[in-house]
Structure 1
């Protein structure tokens, strides 16, 4: 059971209590005002924080967009590099044996090639168009007629042989020939 405690209040106690209550009541608006000012400061700081957070969020969104663009570009570059790597590997597989076989020849070629030979080769390459033109316009047409020259040369040889026999048949030709040979040997003309 509960016992109730009863206190008797004296007028002085009531007065002190009233005074304390009034002082408390008078101080409450000041404290409330202090609390309001503190709350207002917190709200201002929170507002600043929200503003800065929105800025950071905007920068983060821009950074994410740039990172996405960089990622997309990197994916394209990676695909290109992969294709280039495959193509390079195929070329190396095809040409590596050829290069290994050609290496001794190329080394010898480089070791033995002189600057004068390089200059001569360059001059020759410079003259190739003119050489090709002469071949096409001058030499090849002559070569095309060689099948007709053979019989002509045989006929000419037959005529020369006939003339030789005719000259040998001339009386005294052997004497004249020996005399000519003797003059040649002495240096007379």
Structure 2
């Protein structure tokens, strides 16, 4: 067994000097430890705030995912209808392509030969079509329907005119008047032909 030594006053003084020398370092370590504790507390506060924001983001993401799922569920019937519509449109498009290809040269020619003035005139004509249609129905067609009844009246009028002409031709002196009228009409026709 080793003998137990009792420290003497010199030993106690060495220990006290060592403790006194270590005091400022211990105080510095305690201060540094307090700063670390404060930094850790701030870090924990920031971690908590980040966790709260992360929870909010997760909740918003869950809501968005739920909204997206609802929208997809709402779009599912529309998707089926769109597919059916596309199935209907494909044969129509296939049938429309050949005539459209045949019309392209015609459209090119029309674009090359049509002036803006002609387009404006066509637009003006199209604007007048309702009025023209109305007048055709209310004015021209009723007249055309009555032409069938006018023809016999015109024949009667021509017959009466010929009889009147024959009677006038038998009056004394009328032949000279008739001849002058015919010459005047012939001269007018010749002047009109020259103009």
Shift of residue 35, structure 1, vs aligned partner: 6.8
Shift of residue 122, structure 1, vs aligned partner: 0.8
SS in 2 for 1:14: coil
Aligned counterparts of 2:27 and 2:158: Cα–Cα separation in 1: 146
Larger radius of gyration: 1
* Equivalent residues in 2 for 1:1-189, closer than 5 Å: 5=1, 7-9=2-4, 13-16=5-8, 19=11, 23=15, 27=19, 37=31, 39-68=33-62, 71=65, 76=71, 83=79, 86=82, 89-90=86-87, 92-93=89-90, 95-100=92-97, 101-113=99-111, 114-115=114-115, 116-143=117-144, 146=145, 148-158=146-156, 160-161=158-159, 164=162, 187=186
Structure 1: give runs of 5+ residues left out of the alignment: none
Structure 2: give runs of 5+ residues left out of the alignment: 189-195
Residues 171 and 63 (structure 1), Cα distance of their counterparts in 2 relative to 1, 3 Å cut: closer
After superposition, give the CA deviation of every residue in 1:149-188 in whole Å (9 maximum; x if it has no partner).
324412532563576589779998xxx7xx96xx76xx56
Aligned counterparts of 1:86 and 1:37: Cα–Cα separation in 2: 73
Return the TM-score normalized by structure 1. 0.57
Aligned residues: 171
Residues 107 and 58 (structure 1), Cα distance of their counterparts in 2 relative to 1, 3 Å cut: farther
After superposition, give the CA deviation of every residue in 1:61-86 in whole Å (9 maximum; x if it has no partner).
33334444554565638975974993
Shift of residue 59, structure 1, vs aligned partner: 2.6
Residues 168 and 40 (structure 1), Cα distance of their counterparts in 2 relative to 1, 3 Å cut: same
Aligned counterparts of 1:94 and 1:17: Cα–Cα separation in 2: 114
Q: Which has the higher contact order (CA 8 A, sep 6+)?
A: 2
- Tell me how large the CA RMSD over aligned residues is: 5.0
